[in-house]
């Protein structure tokens, strides 16, 4: 009698475990399906709506300087696979030099700083999203040189698709302005990149469709209303960043207190 009861209980436990696993797996599949559907729908809609803008910018680049309108930069994406991320060309054809540039860089064309400030150079990446190489939301894809500096961390980060916007993109929207002009590369490698890696690991480990929607909402707020967004380094929660003058006064008040 006990034997039969025990067997029955074990059987029910197995069924419950299988049911839990099946539910979790179904949730993951649904999450991925929703994310990909959103990527395709939004990317296709934006490419169609912004087609005149894309054509005008491409024509302006061709007329302003010799060379192609688009630039393909090699980046590392999901699963550690390299791909060509498409951007509008901001620099003179064949320009060489450091990987990180300021808006005053001599390599920029006359149109280049404007494209960098307005982020219009990122529009062609909607094609990367449509083809499945990128997502609307995800970690910013890095050059292989930077990936090699943190191989273990990027193994986690590369578990998800890179994105046009994301936690790091919001947190470091003013990256070009905050980098040390005397040593931009050193500052990026030693100060900025480690912070980005931690935030991207946080996203990769906690990513969900709901989280992506929140990031898209905050991105729209940042772009449409020119507001800066703060990202909590431990939780990934998002909030409006206090205006710089106000933030400075608060900091001074805290010191005086």
Over residues 146-160, the pLDDT tens digits come to 999 999 999 999 999
Do the domain assignments include residue 237?
yes
Q: Specify the DSSP class assigned to residue 142.
A: B
Cα angle at 192 between 129 and 177, to 5 degrees? 85
Do the domain assignments include residue 165?
yes
Do the domain assignments include residue 13?
no
Contacts of 173 (CB under 8 A, 6+ apart): 222, 228, 229
**Cβ of 224: how many Cβ atoms within 10 Å?**
8
The alpha carbon torsion through 183, 188, 191, 197 (nearest 10 deg) reads: -170
* pLDDT value, residue 13: 47
Indicate left, alpha or beta for 241 from its phi (over 0: left) and psi (-120 to 50: alpha): beta
Tokens of 242: 């206090």
- CA–CA separation, 77 and 144 (whole Å): 10
R_g over Cα of the chain: 22
| Count of domains forming the chain | 1
- The pTM is what? 0.83
* pLDDT value, residue 88: 97
Do the domain assignments include residue 206?
yes
**pLDDT of the chain along its 257 residues, tens only?**
444 444 444 453 454 445 455 556 766 899 999 999 999 999 999 999 999 999 999 999 999 999 999 999 999 999 999 999 999 999 998 887 777 777 677 889 999 999 998 999 999 999 999 999 999 999 999 999 999 999 999 999 999 999 999 999 999 998 888 899 889 999 999 999 999 999 999 999 999 999 999 999 999 999 999 899 999 999 999 999 887 655 444 333 333 43
* pLDDT value, residue 105: 78
Do the domain assignments include residue 242?
yes
Do the domain assignments include residue 216?
yes
Do the domain assignments include residue 21?
no
* pLDDT value, residue 257: 38
- Of 123, 249, 241, 221, the C-alpha closest to 178 is 241
Do the domain assignments include residue 145?
yes
Expressed as residue numbers, the domain containing 75 is 26-256
Pairing mode of beta strands 135-137, 163-165: parallel
Q: Specify the DSSP class assigned to residue 211.
A: H
């Amino acid at each position: 009698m006990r034997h039969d009861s025990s067997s029955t209980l074990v059987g029910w436990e197995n069924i419950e475990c299988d049911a839990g696993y099946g539910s979790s797996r179904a949730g993951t599949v649904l999450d991925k399906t929703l994310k990909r559907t959103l990527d395709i729908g939004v990317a296709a809609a934006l490419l169609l709506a912004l087609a005149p803008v894309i054509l005008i910018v491409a024509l302006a680049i061709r007329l302003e300087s010799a060379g192609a309108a688009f630039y393909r930069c090699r980046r590392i994406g999901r699963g550690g696979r390299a791909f060509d991320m498409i951007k509008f060309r901001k620099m003179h054809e064949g320009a060489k030099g450091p990987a990180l540039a300021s808006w005053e860089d001599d390599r920029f064309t006359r149109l280049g700083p404007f494209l960098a400030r307005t982020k219009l150079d990122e529009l062609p990446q909607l094609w990367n999203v449509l083809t499945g190489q990128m997502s609307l939301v995800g970690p910013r894809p890095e050059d292989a040189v930077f990936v090699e500096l943190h191989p273990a961390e990027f193994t986690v980060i590369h578990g998800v698709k890179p994105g046009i916007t994301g936690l790091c993109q919001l947190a470091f929207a003013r990256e070009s302005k905050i980098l040390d002009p005397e040593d931009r590369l050193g500052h990026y490698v030693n100060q900025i990149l480690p912070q980005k890696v931690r935030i991207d690991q946080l996203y990769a480990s906690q990513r969900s469709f709901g989280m992506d929607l929140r990031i898209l909402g905050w991105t729209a707020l940042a772009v449409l209303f020119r507001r800066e967004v703060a990202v909590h380094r431990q939780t990934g929660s998002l909030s409006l960043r206090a205006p710089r003058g106000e933030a400075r006064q608060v900091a001074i008040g805290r010191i005086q207190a």
